[in-house]
């Protein structure tokens, strides 16, 4: 089974190819981009060991000159320091890069964000491909052109919008993920269902065992459904001027949890799971949704191996961090809350007291 979708952005539209064994076709995919003769794979130290050789071999067999640049794995390394390391390595390659050089981002969301930011800024912009190897990157970071590095003040505060020329998703790479890493991506899948597609939620509820056992056909279908949602939102609102902000359900609180605990202590998916549940309880307290929907989402998150309870969260600390979020306006926190299954809206009037009450629901 395989899927092909298109992110519709006029002259900058690009294809997303999904299926088992797709990494073997990376060279052919890259070769199809006009003028490319040199491809530089940017990846982290873990992914380089697992999938680096296959990517390099495919590119080489397609007749391309190939370079490989590694950086230290982990969200805590998505920094200006790592950006400088990759850029230094890229700009000192021999023979030197030019504007026909292609950057290939191989790995999870950290690799995609960092390599994409390098591509956006090297020589004032190079073409690049996304080759995600985690479910989280497959369904979220690989589509949309958001590139960035983190700053102590917040996640992804330094970056640019820079769309890739294509996305190649090999579901076979998901076999190398830990259960925790797979669950990280599943949190984003649940989020997409809540904001856009109740049938996707039903699909996940009915296929939990197949998803967790890494069934290739089910994963291809799951990723395809999620990419279709993300692509539709990005096509309608590329630079987050409107409805693309809906994709931030669970992220305002989730990012704050990540920062408060220190990058790498709580995974992105775990933080989004908690943030999404808190957002659901905020919505239920306002009468926007029934408490039964909160319980339904909580049950699915738990079955997928994601956290639904966390005691001791410091509301004041989280609120301060949330005020520095990219979506905040004049220090006022903007929250995305569900208004029904499959639809959300933005709210600017959430108070610290309301947040505290929602977080208390997660501490039971």
Catalytic residues: 124, 146, 188, 230, 240, 244, 248, 251, 255, 268
Q: Are 9 and 163 spatial neighbours (Cβ–Cβ below 8 Å)?
A: yes
* Three-state SS annotation for the chain: CCEEEEECCHHHCEEEEEECCHHHHHHHHHHCCCCCCEEEEEEEHHHHHHHHHHHHHHHHHCCCEEEEEEECCCHHHCCHHHHHHHHHHHHCCCCCCCCCCEEEEEECHHHHHHHHHHHHHHHHCCEEEEEECCHHHHHHHCCCCEEEEEECCEEEEEEEECCCCEEEEEHHHHHHCCHHHHHHHHHHHHHHHHHHCHHHHHHHHHCHHHHHCCCHHHHHHHHHHHHHHHHHHHHHCCCCCCHHHHHHCCHHHHHHHHHHHCECCECHHHHHHHHHHHHHHHHHHCCCCCHHHHHHHHHHHHHCCCCCCCCCCCHHHHHHHHCCCCCCECCECCEEEEEECCEEEEECCCCHHHHHHHHHHHCC
| Distance separating alpha carbons of residues 128 and 124, to the nearest angstrom | 13
Reference 276, options 154, 191, 185, 333; nearest CA is 191
| Distance separating alpha carbons of residues 309 and 305, to the nearest angstrom | 12
The torsion angles phi and psi of 171, rounded to 5 degrees, stand at: -65, -15
Q: Are 132 and 141 spatial neighbours (Cβ–Cβ below 8 Å)?
A: yes
The torsion angles phi and psi of 242, rounded to 5 degrees, stand at: -150, -105
Q: Are 73 and 45 spatial neighbours (Cβ–Cβ below 8 Å)?
A: yes
């Amino acid at each position: 089974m395989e899927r092909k979708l298109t992110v519709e952005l006029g002259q900058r539209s690009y294809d997303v190819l999904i299926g088992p064994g797709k990494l073997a076709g990376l060279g052919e995919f890259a070769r199809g981009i006009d003028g490319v003769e040199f491809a530089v794979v940017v990846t982290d130290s873990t992914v380089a060991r697992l999938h680096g050789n296959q990517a390099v071999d495919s590119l080489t067999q397609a007749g391309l000159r190939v370079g490989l640049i590694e950086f230290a794995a982990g969200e805590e390394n998505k920094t200006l320091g790592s950006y400088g390391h990759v850029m230094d390595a890229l700009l000192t390659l021999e023979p030197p890069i030019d504007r026909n050089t292609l950057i290939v981002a191989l790995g999870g969301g950290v690799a995609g964000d960092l390599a994409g930011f390098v591509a956006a800024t090297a020589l004032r912009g190079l073409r690049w491909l996304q080759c995600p190897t985690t479910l989280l990157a497959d369904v979220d970071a690989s589509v949309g052109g958001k590139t960035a590095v983190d700053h102590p003040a917040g996640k992804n505060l330094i970056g640019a919008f820079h769309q890739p020329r294509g996305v190649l998703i090999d579901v076979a790479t998901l076999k190398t993920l830990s259960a925790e890493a797979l669950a990280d991506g599943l949190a984003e899948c649940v989020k997409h269902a809540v904001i856009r597609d109740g049938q996707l939620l039903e699909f996940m509820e009915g296929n939990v065992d197949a998803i967790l056992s890494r069934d290739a056909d089910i994963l291809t279908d799951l990723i395809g459904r999620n990419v279709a949602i993300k692509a539709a939102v990005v096509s309608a609102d590329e630079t987050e001027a409107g409805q693309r902000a809906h994709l931030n359900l669970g992220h305002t609180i989730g990012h704050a949890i990540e920062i408060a605990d220190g990058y790498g202590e709580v995974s992105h998916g775990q933080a989004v799971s908690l943030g999404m549940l808190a957002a659901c309880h905020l919505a239920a307290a306002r009468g926007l949704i029934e408490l039964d929907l909160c319980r339904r989402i909580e049950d699915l998150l738990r079955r997928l191996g994601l956290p639904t309870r966390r005691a001791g969260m410091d509301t004041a600390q989280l609120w301060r961090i949330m005020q520095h979020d990219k979506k905040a306006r004049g220090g006022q926190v903007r929250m995305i809350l569900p208004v029904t299954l499959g639809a959300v809206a933005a709210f600017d009037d959430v108070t610290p007291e309301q947040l505290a009450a929602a977080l208390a629901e997660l501490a039971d």
